[in-house]
Structure 1
Amino acid sequence: MIVILVIITSLVILFFIVFQKRKNKLLLDKIKQQQAFDAELSNAQTEIQEQTLKNIGWELHDNVGQMLAAASMQMNILKTMIGDDIKENFSEAASTVKESLKEVRMLSRSLNNEVILNIGFEQSIENELNRLKKMKFSTAKLLVKGEIIPFENKKHEIIVFRILQEFFSNTVKYSEAKNLIVKLDYSNDYLNIIASDDGKGFDMDSVKKGSGLLNMKSRAELINTTYHLTSKVGEGTKLELKYPFNNKTEFS
């Protein structure tokens, strides 16, 4: 009887161990499937967003840009037909249309990922800061430290640039900042990025997490980049990104 009880007990224990291992394996498989699904969903959303931005860029360049260019030409023609008494005011209006055309063209380029890849990461940031300086800021500058290392994965380059664009957009809309600074620090293993403004800041604990903040974080996670956003009321906002150059994260 004792032998039988020992055998039965051993079988029960063995069955429990096998069952527990199988249960754990199923749970791990489910977690991996969920992670793969979440990653695929993020990839799809990113691709859709990029295509949408590209389409908007084309529309701005081809339609709005052409209309503004035509308006500028017509105003230059009309300028020769008006009297000197209203020529000064007319010149100001013509200048406004001309500047608007430049702004639309710069904006269309910043929305098209093919243009960004063509002119390069640093120049794209420089162009964006120059555009924002004309719109909003007293100072908007880029500082680069170390020897520049190009991105091996060009999709990662676009995503990092879009994160910075989102930060710039939030700064323009909410911060009331006068100065905006972006620092790129290249080392052998990492690209450290710090973007900061001197605006009114916000309370990190109470602020509603809008789509802009969520987009920045999810994009960073998608390419295995460390993301850290800090802000204090009255002390501005700072975004820190740490992108690893040995980053092998892939997505379709």
Structure 2
Amino acid sequence: MSLIILASLVFLLMPIFLLLYIRSYNRHKKNHFLEKLNMQQKFESEMLQTRVEVQDQTMQSIATELHDNVGQLLSLTTLTLNSVNLNDAEKAKKKIDNSLSLVNKSIKELRELAKLLHGEQLVENGIGHAIHQEINWLNKTGAYELKINNQLLDVQVTSPDKDLIILRLLQEIINNIIKHAQAKHIQIDSYLEKNALHLRVRDNGVGFDPNEIKVKKSGMGLNSIYKRIEMINGKLALNSAPGEGTSISIEIPYP
């Protein structure tokens, strides 16, 4: 008799347990979907912020170049032309030739600026070309002795979203060097190895104690760098010491 009662209870309770299981499964499925949607929205928001920051950095570079280089060339052209004495044909010819040379230099610089205006187009041409362009602007400052090993120029694979973030990471690292490092020598290495993109930047600047930075993940823009690397499942190795410069190595699954 007890077996019949037990069997009846099991038979009656099974639908209830099944219903509870289905409800729990659907709830977990919904939560998982909402979590994925939230992560996707955060990623898209971060990508938008990254695009804006890359554009801001680009515009700052253009403004600096217009003021410090193109503006100077055009000012020299104006001064040279204003000093032309048409009564002295030989000297006048030399000054006009010099002016033409300055104008041609200005045109060349403006063409380079036109390329920089298409920041995302640079990324579309590959991260190697974007890194190359960024290094060119750093080199134009004349403030650093650069040692460059960019093995990404001929890489055929691309990952536009990751490329944009990698470009912004490089910009942030370079900005940190300019603002804080007081360095004279900078070495930049970039290459692909075992389905991973490697970017390493070293400087011989004043350095700092990284222990507190690693714990807090803050200071000198490093919080943003850590966050972006985590977003694309990358790894960061930071080595620095007071008076011994800084080395930052980034490894990102690629593409």
Same fold (TM over 0.5): yes
Q: Is the 8 A contact 2:54 2:168 kept in 1?
A: no
Q: Is the 8 A contact 2:207 2:245 kept in 1?
A: yes
Match in the other structure for 1:120: 129
Q: Is residue 187 of structure 2 the alignment partner of residue 181 of structure 1?
A: yes
Aligned length: 223
After TM superposition, give the deviation of residue 218 of structure 1 in Å: 4.2
Q: 1:23 aligns with which of 27, 36, 39?
A: 27
Structure 1 residue matching 2:221: 3-state secondary structure: helix
User: How many Å separate the matches in 2 of 1:232 and 1:61?
Assistant: 32
User: How many Å separate the matches in 2 of 1:2 and 1:165?
Assistant: 71
1:17 corresponds to which letter in structure 2? Answer: Y
Q: 2:40 aligns with which of 36, 43, 65?
A: 36
Q: Structure 1 residues 179, 67: closer, same or farther in 2, change over 3 A?
A: closer
Q: Structure 1 residues 238, 110: closer, same or farther in 2, change over 3 A?
A: farther
Structure 2 residue matching 1:202: 3-state secondary structure: coil
User: How many Å separate the matches in 2 of 1:162 and 1:225?
Assistant: 16
After TM superposition, give the deviation of residue 200 of structure 1 in Å: 2.6
After TM superposition, give the deviation of residue 204 of structure 1 in Å: 3.0
After TM superposition, give the deviation of residue 54 of structure 1 in Å: 4.6
Match in the other structure for 1:160: 166
Q: Is the 8 A contact 2:58 2:116 kept in 1?
A: no
Match in the other structure for 2:139: 130
2:46 corresponds to which letter in structure 1? Answer: S
Identity of aligned residues (%): 19
TM (normalized to structure 1)? 0.67
2:240 corresponds to which letter in structure 1? Answer: K
TM (normalized to structure 2)? 0.67
User: How many Å separate the matches in 2 of 1:61 and 1:129?
Assistant: 11
User: How many Å separate the matches in 2 of 1:212 and 1:168?
Assistant: 11
After TM superposition, give the deviation of residue 60 of structure 1 in Å: 5.4
Match in the other structure for 1:203: 209
User: How many Å separate the matches in 1 of 2:50 and 2:183?
Assistant: 29
After TM superposition, give the deviation of residue 211 of structure 1 in Å: 7.5
Q: Is residue 198 of structure 2 the alignment partner of residue 192 of structure 1?
A: yes
Structure 2 residue matching 1:199: 3-state secondary structure: coil
Q: 2:6 aligns with which of 2, 5, 8?
A: 2
Q: Structure 1 residues 168, 122: closer, same or farther in 2, change over 3 A?
A: closer
1:152-178: CA deviations, max 9, x gaps? Answer: 345544442332121111011112223
Match in the other structure for 1:93: none
Structure 1 spans left out of the alignment, 5+ residues? 82-97, 248-252
Structure 1 residue matching 2:251: 3-state secondary structure: strand
User: How many Å separate the matches in 2 of 1:48 and 1:60?
Assistant: 18
1:42-121 superposed matches below 5 A: 42-56=46-60, 67-76=71-80, 112-113=118-119, 116=122, 120-121=129-130
Deviates more, 1:64-73 or 1:198-207: 64-73
